[in-house]
Amino acid sequence: IFSIPFDINPQDSLGNYSLQFEYEGNRLMKGNVDSQSVWVVSRTFVNVISADSNVRESGDRWGFTAQVTDDNKTATIRDSGGRELSGPNTPNGGLVDVIYEGLDFEGVLHRQVVATLAPNAGLISLPEPQTDDSHLCFYDGNGDGIPDRDSNGNGQLDDSEAIGCLKANVSPLNPQLLRDDPDSFLPDGFGPVSVYLRFRETLPNEGCEVLEVQYLSMQGKWDPCVDQIGNDHFRVQMAYNANGFSLIGRTSLDVDDQIVYTSEIDPLTGEIVPKPMIVTGQLTDELDTNLTFRNIRVNYEMVNSPAGPVACYNGITDINGMYAITCPLSDVMAGKARVTVSYSAWDNNDAYRYQNKTVQTEFDVFSNSTLQIAEVGPFKSNVETYVAPNNGTAFPVLYLKESFHIDAILTQSNGQYVGGKCLNIYLDPQKNVRPLASINTRESDGMVEWFSGDPSQNPGLKGVETTGGELEGFRLLRVAFEPDLNIPGGCDKDTSNVLNGSHMDIVVLVRSKVDLQVKTTWSFVNNNGLDTDDNVNGEIALLRDRLDLAVENEEIYFVRQYWDSDNMEWVVEGRNESYTNEQGIASFDWAFAGKTCAGESCVGDWKITAYYPGSTFFAESSDDENISHEIHWKKATVTDQSEGIFTPSTIMAIVIVLLGAAIAGVMYYQRVVARRQVEALRGILTDTMLQLQAANEYIAIIFDCYKQLVKHFRRHGFMKKVYETTREFESAVRGAFHMVPADQLDSFIAIFEEARYSDHEIGPSHRDRAIETLNAITQSLSIALGDGGMVTRGDQHEAKLYGGLTKAGEFVAADGTVKQAGVDDNADASDFKI
């Protein structure tokens, strides 16, 4: 074994050298000569100068520029100062394979040699796309089925025939073409792509061995070149997250439109149960590929709600890219929900494959409303209930023609109150389609507190009115939320219309309050008392309080009580019972017990109280409404004629006579005063008429008459002040001359209007007409006073006192003729026989 130092210095030329070894031999061994071929090579250096952005989309181009040089005689140092290689052949050129490595959905790597490039002045880059696709290696311009570059016609492209063209259609990037290519580096069309630049060894330029095709499909360590020392000089990896690229696909996130309800009815129990919002849709890419098993995030917020966004449960897409994500709707008001659906590529490890996508939409959130009547009662705050004796059903009680109140609350089916909604109030809605009133629920708690006697809530102030002639009875009261209707006299259509309507009916008993009125009194007190066994008779009328209509066939109690002087109290002894007749009158008769009270002696003071116990349709009379009259015992006395004329009865008669005389005197005085007023009016008109006959100052005389009449009207209260127009004067005239015919008054008033407002010339004809009118009115006044007037009766005034008398036994037959009972007009023509 021997070793000989062999040094290569930078000044040595590259090439294939031959080393010769010679052994001269010795006396024991024969000499020998041998040689060894040695290549002095350059470690080729591939340096990437530039590359396009690493985020690419469909239709984009991706390219790079790299420099291929020798090692600058510094084999261990990666520097770029060496000699540029050019052309495909040694010793000054070589070939660079461009390999794309893509990652599919399943994490499998796929590789494809997309180009073999020869440097030109040391530079390499992908060929520029041509409009006729001539930049593709398999371009067939003449249409003979053989690529134009196949110069030897063997049906496949050799390395020398495929230099400087694209072996795969990757510029521009088309995901559909990549998906259709069976040898594609991106069989899914999208994903990260690492690019390898691999210089083939062409001595004296060092590089990688030619790569066998089967190595491209290997996972893990696939390139033998990585085992060569210094391969990082002539084998360059451009990672997808550095200066490689990622083909990013556009995503499509569809959200199904829907109408959301906050509740539903359980088909088994019939109860209303909360219902969540389920957001559904589909996630696909731009090639309509379903993106399966991807996380989808959903949140929502109610429009115009102070609450913030609410996150929904997590969800993933299924094998068809469909998703269904549940969003709870607890304590949500009906309205609009702004829903945000998001797909994040980072969350799904798709950052180098797909774009993020966020879709925002709005859903109408409907709710089934629930309207609950909390309280119904008469007047502003009373509550009365009638319990049916047959089944124990309780009915609220209202009173006919009286005010009443309603307390109600409007909620969603999830219990959330609803404020600011208009409710219609109906009484007998099956007959009255027009609501009685309407009211808005309170914003704070969804309540209504309505009172029919409040003019701000019920301008008509109508209470419980009659319906179709019905008075008392069971009536239907309804409070209704009707958002989809315009109700005349009630609520308008709800513009939001996201809350379903509802109503509540309640059967109420409408009663009438009653009034007891005395028809025949049974009051006998003091000197007007009764003796034992005298008959006591009384009558009362039972009327409806507000309508004054009689109440028929109702039982009245006349309760008898006597005064217990020992205990100083009234004690009930018994009662008379009577039913009202068709006029509502009930009466009683009782033999006065005098000083015998419940079989014992007493002072003889009694009291009988008329009391109505009430019934189903009529209210019980109260203590204030009951009628009580006392009866005192007084021994009957015989009147002595010698007592004189001033007995109680004569004194009463004298008082009555005096009162009658006083009333007659007052009436006579009023008649005299009225007569004097009429005489004064007649005097004014007579003077005016005489002045018109004697002088020609028509307008002055008429105005003087006007002033005198005004003074008279003010003195006697027909006018309060002097008015500027004759309309007020006309009213006073018609009031003072009420006994004058209307046509005469019209002519009379026209005289004053003509004198005051007309601008035409006043002549003798106007004066004569005025005198005629004043004369007619004066005569009417004289007739009213009874001075010389004569009443003439004409035919139109004749009363038919004697015409049309009916004789006894006279009747009208079926044929319209008048016959007399017992008289046969055709007795001779009768064929009656015995």
User: Are 463 and 402 in contact, with CB atoms under 8 Å apart?
Assistant: yes
User: Are 381 and 492 in contact, with CB atoms under 8 Å apart?
Assistant: no
Mean pLDDT across the stretch 39-57?
91
Going by pLDDT thresholds of 50, 70 and 90, the confidence category of residue 159 is: confident
For residue 79, count other CB atoms closer than 10 A to its CB: 11
Examine the domain organization and report whether 461 and 494 are in the same domain: yes
CATH number for the domain that contains residue 404: 2.60.40.10
Mean pLDDT across the stretch 433-456?
93
Comparing 721 with 502, the larger pLDDT belongs to: 502
CB-hemisphere CA count at 13 Å for 757?
10
d(CA 160, CA 137): 11
227 within some domain: yes
Q: Among the three residues 247, 271, 291, which one is the final residue of a domain in this structure?
A: 247
Examine the domain organization and report whether 216 and 122 are in the same domain: yes
Specify which of 363-372, 405-414, 509-518 reaches the highest per-range mean pLDDT.
Answer: 509-518
pLDDT digits (tens, 9 = 90+) for 446-464: 999 999 999 999 998 889 9
DSSP designation for 601:
E
Examine the domain organization and report whether 456 and 546 are in the same domain: no
820 within some domain: no
Task: For 655-703, give the DSSP string.
Answer: HHHHHHHHHHHHHHHHHHHHHHHHHHHHHHHHHHHHHHHH---HHHHHH
* Percentage of residues of the chain with pLDDT beyond 90: 53
* Percentage of residues of the chain with pLDDT beyond 70: 91
Predicted local confidence at residue 794, as pLDDT: 44
Task: For 794-830, give the DSSP string.
Answer: -GGG---SSTT---TTEEE-TTS-EEETT--TTSTT-
Non-local (6+) Cβ contacts of 28 within 8 A are none
Predicted local confidence at residue 823, as pLDDT: 54
Q: Helices (H) and strands (E) in the chain — how many of each?
A: 7, 44
Comparing 631 with 674, the larger pLDDT belongs to: 631
pLDDT for residue 784 is more than 60: yes
Token pair recorded at residue 386: 């009638």
Is the whole model's pTM more than 0.85, yes or no? no
User: Are 376 and 508 in contact, with CB atoms under 8 Å apart?
Assistant: yes
Examine the domain organization and report whether 97 and 66 are in the same domain: yes
d(CA 36, CA 13): 18
693 within some domain: yes
Examine the domain organization and report whether 541 and 620 are in the same domain: yes
For residue 257, count other CB atoms closer than 10 A to its CB: 11
Long-range contacts of 385-388 (CB under 8 A, 24+ apart): 386/509, 386/616
pLDDT for residue 790 is more than 70: no
Non-local (6+) Cβ contacts of 205 within 8 A are 41, 42, 44, 70, 85, 90, 91, 93, 94, 199
Token pair recorded at residue 357: 């996508």
Token pair recorded at residue 185: 């580096």
Among residues 72, 76, 69, which one has the least CA distance to residue 45?
69
d(CA 328, CA 473): 48
Among residues 185, 190, 194, 186, which one has the least CA distance to residue 239?
194
Mean pLDDT across the stretch 77-102?
90
Exposure string of 460-495, with b = 16+ CB inside 10 Å and e = fewer, is: eeebbeebeeebbeebbbbbbbbbeeebeebbeebe
CB-hemisphere CA count at 13 Å for 419?
4
d(CA 208, CA 201): 5
325 within some domain: no
**241-255, 296-310, 496-510, 742-756: segment of lowest average pLDDT:** 742-756
d(CA 620, CA 613): 5
Phi, psi dihedrals of residue 681, rounded to the nearest 5°: -60, -45
pLDDT digits (tens, 9 = 90+) for 520-562: 999 999 888 899 999 999 999 999 988 889 999 999 999 999 9
Please tell me the total count of domains within the chain: 4
Predicted local confidence at residue 789, as pLDDT: 44
Q: Among the three residues 604, 632, 660, which one is the final residue of a domain in this structure?
A: 632
Going by pLDDT thresholds of 50, 70 and 90, the confidence category of residue 111 is: very high
Examine the domain organization and report whether 403 and 464 are in the same domain: yes
Mean pLDDT across the stretch 94-99?
96
Predicted local confidence at residue 547, as pLDDT: 85
Task: Point out which residues pair with 447 in neighbouring strands.
Answer: 409
* Residue reference for tokens 């509802």: 502
540 within some domain: yes
Examine the domain organization and report whether 407 and 499 are in the same domain: yes
Predicted local confidence at residue 644, as pLDDT: 55
Examine the domain organization and report whether 130 and 225 are in the same domain: yes
* Residue reference for tokens 């809605």: 429
How many residues are given for the chain? 834
Among residues 772, 525, 520, 742, which one has the least CA distance to residue 631?
525
**32-46, 274-288, 296-310, 713-727: segment of lowest average pLDDT:** 713-727
For residue 632, count other CB atoms closer than 10 A to its CB: 20
Q: What is the mean pLDDT of the chain?
A: 86
Comparing 787 with 537, the larger pLDDT belongs to: 537
**14-23, 97-106, 725-734, 822-831: segment of lowest average pLDDT:** 822-831
Non-local (6+) Cβ contacts of 135 within 8 A are 127, 128, 129, 165, 166, 171
d(CA 330, CA 275): 9
536 within some domain: yes
Q: Rounded to an integer, what is the distance from CA 361 to the centroid of its chain?
A: 21
Examine the domain organization and report whether 495 and 525 are in the same domain: no
Examine the domain organization and report whether 591 and 729 are in the same domain: no
pLDDT digits (tens, 9 = 90+) for 283-322: 999 999 999 999 999 999 988 878 889 999 989 999 999 9
Among residues 504, 491, 389, which one has the least CA distance to residue 440?
491
Strand, coil or helix: what is 155?
coil
Examine the domain organization and report whether 541 and 393 are in the same domain: no
360 within some domain: no
pLDDT for residue 164 is more than 70: yes
Non-local (6+) Cβ contacts of 660 within 8 A are none
User: Are 562 and 571 in contact, with CB atoms under 8 Å apart?
Assistant: yes
d(CA 111, CA 216): 5
69 within some domain: yes
Predicted local confidence at residue 727, as pLDDT: 63
Token pair recorded at residue 688: 């005016």
pLDDT for residue 802 is more than 70: no
Q: Tell me how far apart the terminal alpha carbons of the chain are, to the nearest angstrom.
A: 187
Predicted local confidence at residue 142, as pLDDT: 87
Q: Rounded to an integer, what is the distance from CA 184 to the centroid of its chain?
A: 59
Q: Among the three residues 247, 263, 286, which one is the final residue of a domain in this structure?
A: 247
Non-local (6+) Cβ contacts of 191 within 8 A are 102, 103, 104, 105, 246, 247, 352, 353
Predicted local confidence at residue 804, as pLDDT: 46
d(CA 476, CA 474): 7
pLDDT digits (tens, 9 = 90+) for 196-210: 999 999 988 899 999
Counting beta carbons within 10 angstroms of the beta carbon of residue 341, is it exposed (0 to 12), middle (13 to 18) or buried (19 or more)? buried
pLDDT digits (tens, 9 = 90+) for 728-750: 677 777 777 777 787 877 777 77
d(CA 291, CA 354): 10
Task: For 262-319, give the DSSP string.
Answer: SEEE-TTT--EEE--EEEEEEEEETT--B--S-EEEEEEEETT-SS--EEPPPEE--T
pLDDT digits (tens, 9 = 90+) for 8-31: 777 777 777 778 888 888 888 888
pLDDT digits (tens, 9 = 90+) for 645-673: 666 777 888 888 888 888 888 887 777 77
Q: Which domain holds residue 747?
A: 675-781
Specify which of 32-41, 607-616, 824-833 reaches the highest per-range mean pLDDT.
Answer: 607-616
Token pair recorded at residue 24: 């001269």
Phi, psi dihedrals of residue 679, rounded to the nearest 5°: -65, -40
Q: Is 764 left (phi over 0), alpha (psi -120 to 50) or beta?
A: alpha
Examine the domain organization and report whether 51 and 123 are in the same domain: yes
Exposure string of 787-825, with b = 16+ CB inside 10 Å and e = fewer, is: eeeeeeeeeeeeeeeeeeeeeeeeeeeeeeeeeeeeeee
d(CA 193, CA 103): 7
d(CA 298, CA 309): 10
Predicted local confidence at residue 721, as pLDDT: 55
